[in-house]
Amino acid sequence: MMPGSMTSRPAPTPFHTVGLIGRYQTEGVIDTLRDIATVLRERGVRVLVETQTGLAAGGEPFAELAAMEAIGDIAELAIAVGGDGTMLGVTRALAQHDISLLGINYGRLGFITDIPLEQWRGALSAILDGEFTAEHRSLLCVRVERAGERVWDALALNDIVVSRSSRAGMIELQVEVDGTYMYNQRADGLIIATPTGSTAYALSANGPILHPQLAGIVMVPVAPHALSNRPICLPDDARIRIRVIEGREPRVSGDMQVFSELQIDDDIVIERAPFQARFVHPFGYSYFATLRSKLNWHELPFLNERT
């Protein structure tokens, strides 16, 4: 090297090991993950790829294979490429590991995979430079108790739904909050949602939108028999117990991805998880911009002067 000459070195990044997870069944996702892995290596970052995602690439995996548990233990950042469903699954698996989560949208809606596919390079570069904000999202723990024994448990970022079979009539549920009887509800189902999940199934059932930084849980009946039964917001430290009183083929789901069949007199116990998910966003992220985009809210320029 000539005297006085300089070599270009990657700028330091707060993330030294990054895990990649993708909806590998979707055409183009593996190619995007390969490109992301290349960008990360150019910055001196160790790259792990979730085992099934890496094997789906065929031939030699494009990064070091690692189980989801290992990604949670080793990496500081996990990048999910897919739709909101992919991000929900990744969050449930990794949130308890205190790892940062980033979603790149390869789906249709993209409430929580908020980086558009065509913008991932700029967004990732900024985040690797430390130019990002972090926010924490609450999760729910749910368990099913049958004759005093736990028979099923799960985590949910969006919601817990107790519902009837699509082939059956209404379901009747008895609801208690913090040990106090609330009501008996006859409906097609009952949704218990986090603020994150308030824009999912709960919204389609006429529930309110809760800002993700609110400390609350929303309970929304689905097609209730009594029209006076309305959505209600509860403190986020509430402990909710739902008993199945009547109904054919009842079931409970978490994020509409994990399911358990229920029996009459089963109790479904729901409470806030003892940990939170940590999402990272490039500077300029706006929750309200996401709502405007995804819900097609009419947008007008802000007026700084009185008229």
Burial of 182 (0-12, 13-18, 19+ CB in 10 A): middle
Cα separation, 184 vs 193, in Å, equals: 19
Say which amino acid occupies 84.
D
Set 84, 114, 255, 266: catalytic member? 84
Which H/E stretch holds residue 98?
none
Contact of 84 with 268, CB cutoff 8 Å: no
- The answer to whether 16 and 45 are in contact (CB under 8 A) is yes
- Name the 3-class secondary structure at 5: coil
Query: Comparing C-alpha atoms, which of 182, 145, 181 is closest to residue 270?
Result: 145
Q: Is 129 a catalytic residue?
A: no
Enzyme catalytic residues: 84
